[in-house]
Amino acid sequence: MAKLRARAAGVTNVTDILEISEPIEETIGDEVADEAISKRAYELWLERGCPEGSPEEDWFQAQFEFENRRDTR
């Protein structure tokens, strides 16, 4: 996928790749973060016994855990 994006952007050498890689990594990073948060929120919901209502409680907790984990790296 990255090679296709690089070709589409007219990349011809390593320097060009480094220049365009940051925005691509940010987009991919956001998608990965959302997926990780979603999975953790589901785990939290299961741990709480699958209650109805307030899914944002699990989402915010998962988001908090994810952001704190990223900050400690």
**Higher pLDDT residue, 16 or 70?**
70
**Amino acid found at 34:** D
How close are the terminal C-alpha atoms of the chain, in Å?
27
Token output for 64 = 């908090």
DSSP 10: T
pLDDT at residue 71, rounded to an integer = 67
**How confident is the model over 12-58, as pLDDT tens digits?**
444 444 444 444 445 568 888 999 999 999 999 999 999 998 889 99
Enter the pTM of the model. Answer: 0.58
CB 37 within 8 A of CB 31: no
Its sign, for the CA torsion 40, 72, 67, 23, is negative
